[in-house]
Every structure is written in C-alpha cells, then in structure tokens.
C-alpha cells in the first residue's frame, strides 16, 4: 500500500465541523484492514529500534492505532484521557482551544524516569492537544519523547507549535 492509496481511502468531508473546514475522516481508513495494517507496520518500522517502553494514545482516535504499535514494539499502552475519565490519581495539563480551555490527564503511576515514550494521535492540525500531552509527559522526567501522527495537515503549521527538540513523525501529509 502506498501513501497515495491511503489518501484515497481517507474520506474528506467538506464544511465539518463548521463551514470552510475540510475534515479528514480517518474512520474509512480504520475500517479498511489493509490500511489499518499499513499504519501499524509503518509506525513499527520507524520506532522499532528507538527503545520505546510506553506508547501513549491521545483521546480518542489516538486509542485506535497506539495499542497496535505498543503491542508490536513490546511496550505498554497508556491512555491520555480528557478530564474526569481516569479512576485513580492523575496528573493534569490544561491548554487553550479555539473556544475555551480543555484538560487532559494520565495516571500518576503511568510513567517513570526510565521510560522512552511515544505519544500518538491520529492527526496533527494546530498542535495544541499534542503540546499539552508533551508538557504532561515532561512532568515525569522521562528519558525521551517521540511524537507520531497518522496524518499531518501541513498548511496549519502544527509542527511549529510543538517546538524544537521533539522528533515528530507523520505518515500522511496534506
């Protein structure tokens, strides 16, 4: 499978969630077995020799591929959830969104200083959610942080929001 074939499977929805937006709907790629396999294999190939011990999936679409990659890497999976969704003690990070403030959390015992972390989400747009996830993980003083996306919307410059010093890898670019 090629990047162009994957792009042909990802559905584009005009004017969602509001007028003027071209929404890249990955559900069509997730329900295609070849495409889902391609995502897992490409990410595994990129990260297999980097010593990743934990793969974090950002709620909610990051939960789909992150556990697949964690399994292939022999790493643990850690969910990054929205506020109030995790049952035990958490560490939180709040961030600005277009229409207010949001908060993400992970369990206090999810990571240690010995971990090499890959944070995964489905799509990089403006980068706000991923920057919050990076800041959250930095509170654990982990050894290394890697960032992965299935899709990156280059025109929105989200990569610049994440700042320097982080390895960002995206499979498909628009």
Summarised one tens digit per residue, pLDDT across range 66-94 is: 999 999 999 999 999 999 999 999 999 99
pLDDT of 7-37, one tens digit each? 999 999 999 998 999 999 999 999 999 999 9
Among the listed residues 4, 24, 41, 61, the single catalytic one is 61
Number of H helices, E strands in the chain: 6, 9
Q: Is residue 25 part of a domain?
A: no
Q: Is residue 19 part of a domain?
A: no
Query: Which residue segment(s) compose the domain that 59 sits in?
Result: 50-173
Q: Is residue 2 part of a domain?
A: no
Residues with Cβ < 8 Å from 116, sequence gap 6 or more? 50, 51, 52, 53, 54, 142, 143, 144, 146
Confidence of residue 157 (pLDDT cuts 50, 70, 90): very high
Pairing of strands 116-124, 54-58: parallel
Question: The whole model's pTM is what?
Answer: 0.95
CATH of the domain at 129: 3.40.50.2020
How much is the average pLDDT of 102-114? 97
Q: Is residue 86 part of a domain?
A: yes
Tally the domains of the chain.
Answer: 1
Q: Is residue 59 part of a domain?
A: yes
Q: Is residue 122 part of a domain?
A: yes
Q: Is 98 a catalytic residue?
A: yes
């Amino acid at each position: 499978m090629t990047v162009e074939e994957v792009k042909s499977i990802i559905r584009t929805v005009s004017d969602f969630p509001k007028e003027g937006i071209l929404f890249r709907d990955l559900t069509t790629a997730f329900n295609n077995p070849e495409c889902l396999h391609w995502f897992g294999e490409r990410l595994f190939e990129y990260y297999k020799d980097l010593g990743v011990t934990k793969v974090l999936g950002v709620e909610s679409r990051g939960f789909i591929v992150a556990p697949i990659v964690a399994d292939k890497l022999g790493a643990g999976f850690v969910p990054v959830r929205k506020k109030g969704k995790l049952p035990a003690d958490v560490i939180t990070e709040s961030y600005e969104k277009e229409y207010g403030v949001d908060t993400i959390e992970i369990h206090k015992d999810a990571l240690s200083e010995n971990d090499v972390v890959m944070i995964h989400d489905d799509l990089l747009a403006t980068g706000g959610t991923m920057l919050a996830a990076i800041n959250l993980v930095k509170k654990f003083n982990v050894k290394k942080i890697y960032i992965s996306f299935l899709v990156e919307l280059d025109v929105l410059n989200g990569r610049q929001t994440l700042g320097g010093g982080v390895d960002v890898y995206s499979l498909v670019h628009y």
